[in-house]
Homo-oligomer: A and B are copies of this chain.
Amino acid sequence: MLVLGVDPGLTRCGLGVVDGGPGRQTSLVEVGVLRTPATDDVASRLWALERGLGEWIDRHNPDAVAVERVFSQANVRTVMGTAQAGAVAIVTAARRGLPVALYTPSEVKAAVSGSGRADKAQVTFMVSRLLKLSDPPRPADAADALALALCHLSRGPALARMRAAVRQAPAVPGGSL
């Protein structure tokens, strides 16, 4: 299973493709960062991001796309750009019929390090360890994108099983689900 993780941002958008699945070594396929110039208008930046994301998706043809779920942050300006970039990532994947999963930063941190309050250094360390990388991925946005993909690989199968169980459960009043 191939997962594309997206750490959305207008200035830097982290992208990481990870290959993995039950009983297999999880491995890095590609990691990188899309950048758009702050001097460009928002429309040009979002459109550049859409084209860049589309190229990554078309090149790797992932089975799923995992995008960071944006919540409130201290800096409202930053959170707007993150929400806009995230929306473009979501819609670029959805348009291609790909499943899109959203994870909060603490879900991602917990999935790779065991703690929802892990710091950036810890996340980068664990991403390198889980993917057996000799050098840590830089910048932090790239490491975060890989963490998102790893989070989906670790949680995806469990979620899929849960959803399948719900679908297969008898839809009768008083049923066990």
Which residues in A have some Cβ–Cβ distance to B below 8 Å?
A: 41-44, 46-47, 50, 70-72, 76, 79-80, 83-88, 90-91, 93-95, 100, 102
Q: A50-B95, A84-B90 are in contact. List 4 more A-B contacts (CB 8 A).
A: A43-B93, A47-B90, A50-B91, A80-B83
Question: Which among B42, B85, B90 is the interface contact of A46 at CB below 8 angstroms?
Answer: B90
Chain B neighbourhood of A50, CB < 8 A: 91, 95
Q: Which residue in chain B gives the minimum CB-CB distance to A93?
A: B43
Given A43-B100, A72-B76, the answer on whether A87 and B94 have CB atoms closer than 8 Å is: no
Docked CA distance A86–B100 (Å)? 19
Chain B neighbourhood of A88, CB < 8 A: 87-88, 91
Chain B neighbourhood of A86, CB < 8 A: 84
Q: Which of A71, A84, A95 has the most CB of B within 10 A?
A: A84
Given A42-B102, A102-B42, the answer on whether A47 and B84 have CB atoms closer than 8 Å is: no
Whole-angstrom distance between the Cβ of A6 and the nearest chain B Cβ:
12
Q: Which residue in chain B gives the minimum CB-CB distance to A73?
A: B76
Docked CA distance A53–B173 (Å)? 40
Docked CA distance A47–B100 (Å)? 11
Docked CA distance A100–B93 (Å)? 23
Which 3 residue pairs are nearest across A and B when measured between Cβ atoms?
A84-B87, A83-B83, A47-B94
Whole-angstrom distance between the Cβ of A98 and the nearest chain B Cβ:
9
Docked CA distance A131–B100 (Å)? 42
Docked CA distance A72–B70 (Å)? 14
Question: Which among B47, B87, B93 is the interface contact of A83 at CB below 8 angstroms?
Answer: B87
Q: Which residue in chain B gives the minimum CB-CB distance to A102?
A: B42
